[in-house]
Amino acid sequence: MALLTVDEKELLVKAVSLMDELRETLEVMQDSELVEDLKVALREVEEGKTRPLDELMRELNLEEEY
């Protein structure tokens, strides 16, 4: 007899994944420089100062590598 059912195993995997995501979020939130960089990046996106990744990859001749 198994200790956990298939459903319980899947739920445990999802819970571990969520905990990892929360830990990473907390690590980012504690890095004030990184938080400020993210705010700047989001502001640049809102201001339209970005472009699609595929466009940049074509410009740099990297599209075949990915």
Residue type (1 letter), 45:
V
Instruction: Judge if pTM exceeds 0.75.
Output: no
Rg (CA), the chain: 20
Q: Is the dihedral of CA 27, 29, 33, 34 positive or negative?
A: positive
Return the structure tokens found at 66.
């990915």
Return the structure tokens found at 44.
């640049």
Return the structure tokens found at 11.
């739920």
Residue type (1 letter), 63:
E
pLDDT of residue 66: 54
CA 47 from chain centre, in angstroms, equals 22
User: Per-block average pLDDT, block size 10, for the chain (66 residues)?
Assistant: 92 98 96 96 96 91 74
pLDDT of residue 5: 95
